[in-house]
Amino acid sequence: MFRGAGESGRVTPDPELELELTGLTHGGEAVGRLPDGRACFVAYAIPGERVRVRVVEHRRRWARAEVLAVLRPSPDRVEPPCPYFGPDRCGGCQLQHVSPERQAEMKRQVVVEQLQRLGGIASPPVASTVRPGGSGWLRGYRTSARFAVDGVGRLGFRRAASHAVVPIDRCLLLTDGTQALRDAAGDAWAGAAEVSVRTGSDGAGRAITLQPGPGALPPLPAGDIPVAVVRAGRPVALRGEPAVIEHVAGVAFRVSPTSFFQSGPAGAEALVAAVREAAGAGPGDQALDLYAGVGLFARFLAADGAHVTAVESSKVACDDARTNLRPVRERAAVVRSTAEDAVTRLAASGRTVDIVVLDPPRRGAGPELVSHLARLGARAVVYVSCDPAALARDARALAGAGYRLARAVPVDQFGHTAHIETVATFVPA
Ligand SMILES: C[S@@+](CC[C@H](N)C(=O)[O-])C[C@H]1O[C@@H](n2cnc3c(N)ncnc32)[C@H](O)[C@@H]1O
């Protein structure tokens, strides 16, 4: 079946063909060229492979195809370790068929290409991909997971490019403790829209959090596991204490059910190390931590001697951050505000800062924030990004505002998926 065939303006009599795959998208698909020159995106394939495909989606400038046979496999092709991985199964992972070394290199390549294409940087200085947790990097790294709920209440993940829920009882990305919590959560959640599980490091708390559906709440699972429900964006405890404690580089962080935290402590530790190195904070420095969450980066910037203002829009995360920054309170303040408003106010006041760390959501910071940010005069802008395309767009805006990219470090805290985190350092041009 052709999806989108109506928009294509083309009819392809034989949608099955052989393709030489040469490129890569930032969603982890390999890219080849159709005989008419259009790019064709192929999931579950690897650049360098020759494949037989069926074209399943036609657009004016591009097409999408599914693999029928791998005619010349890449030497980097491996047996996927998870039975749920593959077309029409779980959509959570995209790269389990790729060796660990090649995954790391592919992700670095994605960062380079996005910075070139969208960022307009001819030779971006991108370091090798950091793999948090060493050899354990690809397994058991997640301390939280958000499950969809199927029609009979089973927990699962969505199929790729679909709303269909694939029931999942084991996920190899979860830590043992988080998998045990998923087991304990069971599969009787009919009525809930989503169910999240989160464990603290070293057994420091665990919680199940549900997003309610339109009807009555499902009964809670037996036992004493803390459970919260999200109402108007805030967590309401139904049983026990649903905040957990994460430990990063020996420091404890309280994380409430709706507060953001990195995928796991090893990833957070690698990010913190990269941010500290890039920021080079010391006594006397004034630093801004924008999109601060529960205060992860602010805590270490203050430990390094800087005076830090952590800016975060979520009330619940701000409350966590105030708790987490208590040990360094003489050098750290939390401001509940959007980053946009905080930076605009600061720029209008004429005050300057030495260091800015920003870690926006996937959409990025945007050109308006960047233009005000540039007026703060920071010697280093350390940008933590979970989307290389958004990073690249903001890098272009930063270049227009007088900052050049000095270094970008991909940190793979999402092994087996196509996602990649990047810590990028910008300095005055
Ligand atoms: C990717 S998380 C980063 C959190 C933190 N830096 C960390 O590493 O744990 C983004 C954070 O930005 C917050 N946020 C979203 N939009 C915001 C905005 N416009 N202004 C300030 N904070 C925002 C979210 O609540 C979330 O805590």
Complete DSSP assignment for 84-150:
TBSTTSBSS-S-TTB-HHHHHHHHHHHHHHHHHHTT--SS--BPPPB-TTGGGGGSS-BSEEEEEE-
- The number of the ligand 1 atom at minimal distance from the alpha carbon of 317 is 27
pLDDT at 6 over 70: no
pLDDT at 251 over 50: yes
pLDDT at 1 over 50: no
CATH fold of 104-134+263-428, please? Answer: Rossmann fold (3.40.50)
pLDDT of residue 136: 66
What is the bridge-based pairing of β-strands 227-231 and 206-212? parallel
- Give the closest residue (by CA) to ligand 1 atom 12: 291
Residue 387 to residue 366: CA distance in whole angstroms: 13
At 9, is the pLDDT very low, low, confident or very high (cuts 50, 70, 90)?
A: very low
* CB 234 within 8 Å of CB 316: yes
Mutate which of 253, 258, 260 for ligand 1? The one with the most ligand atoms within 8 Å of its CB, which is 260
The pLDDT tens digits of the residues spanning 138-170 come to 889 999 999 999 999 999 999 988 999 999 999
Residues whose CB is less than 8 angstroms from the CB of residue 37 and which lie 6 or more positions away in sequence, other chains included: none
Distance from the alpha carbon of residue 18 to the mean position of ligand 1, in angstroms? 44
Residue 105 to residue 125: CA distance in whole angstroms: 14
Q: Which of 40, 93, 171, 386 is catalytic?
A: 386
pLDDT of residue 137: 72
Helix (H) or strand (E) run with residue 198 in it: strand 192-199
pLDDT of residue 2: 37
Q: pTM for the complete prediction?
A: 0.94
pLDDT at 3 over 60: no
Question: If one looks up domain 5-72 in CATH, what number appears?
Answer: 2.40.50.140
Closest to 181 in 3D by CA, of 158, 197, 163: 197
Q: What is the DSSP letter of 77?
A: B
- Give the closest residue (by CA) to ligand 1 atom 25: 314
The pLDDT tens digits of the residues spanning 381-418 come to 999 999 999 999 999 999 999 999 999 999 999 999 99
Binding pocket residue ranges, ligand 1, CB within 6 Å = 260-262, 291-294, 296-297, 311-314, 317, 338-340, 359, 361
- Give the closest residue (by CA) to ligand 1 atom 8: 296
- The number of the ligand 1 atom at minimal distance from the alpha carbon of 311 is 21
pLDDT of residue 12: 52
- Give the closest residue (by CA) to ligand 1 atom 27: 293
Residue 137 to residue 198: CA distance in whole angstroms: 19
Token pair recorded at residue 64: 């999408």
Residue 98 to residue 155: CA distance in whole angstroms: 27
Distance from the alpha carbon of residue 365 to the mean position of ligand 1, in angstroms? 10
pLDDT of residue 14: 54
Q: What is the DSSP letter of 306?
A: -
- Give the closest residue (by CA) to ligand 1 atom 20: 338
Token pair recorded at residue 297: 């980066």
Residue 392 to residue 397: CA distance in whole angstroms: 9
- The number of the ligand 1 atom at minimal distance from the alpha carbon of 289 is 6
386 in catalytic set: yes
User: In which residue ranges of the chain is CATH 2.40.50.1070 found?
Assistant: 142-242
User: DSSP letter string over 317-353?
Assistant: HHHHHHHHTGGGGGGEEEEES-HHHHHHHHHHHT---
Closest to 222 in 3D by CA, of 206, 235, 239: 239
The pLDDT tens digits of the residues spanning 47-85 come to 999 999 999 999 999 999 999 999 999 999 999 999 999
Q: Side-chain half-sphere of 82: how many Cα atoms within 13 Å?
A: 27
| Sheet with 355-358, side-by-side order of all strands | 332-336, 307-312, 286-290, 355-358, 380-385, 421-428, 403-411
Q: What is the DSSP letter of 414?
A: S
Residues whose CB is less than 8 angstroms from the CB of residue 350 and which lie 6 or more positions away in sequence, other chains included: none
pLDDT at 89 over 50: yes
Tokens 């802008």 locate to 381
- Give the closest residue (by CA) to ligand 1 atom 6: 292
Distance from the alpha carbon of residue 110 to the mean position of ligand 1, in angstroms? 24
What value does the mean pLDDT take over residues 167-191?
A: 96
Q: What is the DSSP letter of 373?
A: H
- The number of the ligand 1 atom at minimal distance from the alpha carbon of 259 is 27
CATH fold of 142-242, please? Answer: OB fold (Dihydrolipoamide Acetyltransferase, E2P) (2.40.50)
pLDDT of residue 379: 98
Distance from the alpha carbon of residue 326 to the mean position of ligand 1, in angstroms? 20
Collapsing DSSP to helix, strand or coil, 46 comes out as: coil
- The number of the ligand 1 atom at minimal distance from the alpha carbon of 357 is 6
**Considering the chain, what percentage of its residues have pLDDT values greater than 90?**
90
User: In which residue ranges of the chain is CATH 3.40.50.150 found?
Assistant: 104-134+263-428
Closest to 319 in 3D by CA, of 309, 334, 300: 334
**Considering the chain, what percentage of its residues have pLDDT values greater than 70?**
96
The pLDDT tens digits of the residues spanning 23-38 come to 999 899 999 999 999 9
Inter-CA distances, 225 with 192, 209, 211, 316, 371, Å: 17, 11, 17, 21, 47
Distance from the alpha carbon of residue 281 to the mean position of ligand 1, in angstroms? 21
* CB 399 within 8 Å of CB 393: no
The pLDDT tens digits of the residues spanning 281-329 come to 999 999 999 999 999 999 999 999 999 999 999 999 999 999 999 999 9
Inter-CA distances, 58 with 1, 2, 43, 160, 385, Å: 10, 7, 15, 18, 31
Residues whose CB is less than 8 angstroms from the CB of residue 260 and which lie 6 or more positions away in sequence, other chains included: 293, 294, 314, 317
pLDDT at 116 over 70: yes
Distance from the alpha carbon of residue 360 to the mean position of ligand 1, in angstroms? 6
Q: What is the DSSP letter of 58?
A: E
Distance from the alpha carbon of residue 169 to the mean position of ligand 1, in angstroms? 30
pLDDT at 117 over 50: yes
- How far the first Cα of the chain sits from its last, in Å, is 52
